[in-house]
Amino acid sequence: MSTTAVTSPIDEVKTTPWAGGRSPFSVEYGKMMMWFFLLSDAFTFSSLLIAYGALRFSATAWPAADHIFQSVPLTSIEHGAPLVFVGIMTFILIMSSVTMVLGVEAGHRGARKEVAWWMIATVIGGFMFLGCQALEWSHLFHEGFGWGKMPKEIGEFFPDGTKPSAVYTQQFANLFFTITGFHGFHVFTGVIINIIILVNVLLGTYDRRGTYGMVEKVGLYWHFVDLVWVFVFTFFYLV
């Protein structure tokens, strides 16, 4: 981008990114399309979350997250540990995002073995998250929650001083399973894609191709899944 050879203002115009002759984005096709796919996916997720927000805003009372999520599956803790389990899930997903980006970094150096190990770690993190979500869902199913289903006794889920409402409890259950289910489906597909990429890394496909760009593209997808979880976590468990 040296401007020393510029002799007139007209020449200077030709060096701008939009002057033609080269890509103003300077990313490869697949990476740009992954970004635009993620943008459309962001619209889908925000539509779901905003619909949840609108229903919650118009409700007179809403079940409190720290009253519903009190147990830690696989332990004897059934009550009195609000949000502990979701904290573990959040940590697992952030951690797997880190292993993914470390894999991408190793890919830039063309270190095949390192990429493979970081991809394995990412896949394990994805399975751990899915396992945690399965445990949490089955726990809620046993309590009586589900699409179109809720426990008979709902008084304990509402904050003190508000009137328990069956309608809002049902709305909460439907929205919770729909949105975390849609996110979990993304995690599941992400794990499948990561495994495919891992196999290709082990087969040396990207060494032959001379670039580890594919690792970067699935990395974008995986980070997006983490990004969505950050929002789901805030709006379902904290607010």
Partner 1 sequence: MSEIKHTEIHEEHAEHDTMTRKKIWNVFFVLLGITAIEFFIALYLVPKNIVPIHVANPIYIVLTLAKAFYIVAYFMHLKFEKIGMVYSILVPTLFIIGLILVLTNESHHWVDLR
Q: Which residues are near partner 1 by CB under 8 A?
A: 1, 3, 9, 12, 15-18, 24-27, 32, 35-36, 39, 42-43, 46-47, 50-51, 53-55, 57-60, 66, 82-83, 87, 90-91, 94-95, 97-98, 100-102, 104-105, 108, 216, 219-220, 223-224, 226-227, 230-231, 234, 237-239
SS3 state at 113 = helix
Measured CA to CA, the distance from residue 150 to residue 169 in angstroms comes to 7
CB of 164 to partner 1, least distance (A): 15
- Residue closer to partner 1 by CB (options 27, 203) is 27
- Residue closer to partner 1 by CB (options 136, 226) is 226
- Residue closer to partner 1 by CB (options 42, 202) is 42
- Residue closer to partner 1 by CB (options 87, 151) is 87
Beta-bridged to residue 63, according to DSSP, are none
CB of 154 to partner 1, least distance (A): 18
- Residue closer to partner 1 by CB (options 59, 124) is 59
CB of 181 to partner 1, least distance (A): 21
CB of 203 to partner 1, least distance (A): 26
Contacts of range 46-55, beta carbons closer than 8 Å, 24 or more positions apart: 48/175, 48/178, 48/179, 48/182, 49/179, 49/231, 49/232, 49/235, 51/175, 52/175, 52/179, 52/235, 53/235, 55/171, 55/175
Nearest to 89 by CA among 49, 131, 48, 120: 131
- Residue closer to partner 1 by CB (options 12, 207) is 12
SS3 state at 216 = helix
SS3 state at 146 = strand
CB of 151 to partner 1, least distance (A): 23
Question: Is residue 78 within 8 Å of residue 70, measured between CB atoms?
Answer: yes
CB of 211 to partner 1, least distance (A): 15
Cα-based distances in Å from 30 to 76, 158, 214, 220: 48, 47, 8, 11
- Residue closer to partner 1 by CB (options 202, 220) is 220
Measured CA to CA, the distance from residue 130 to residue 128 in angstroms comes to 5
SS3 state at 175 = helix
CB of 90 to partner 1, least distance (A): 6
Q: Which amino acid is at 108?
A: H
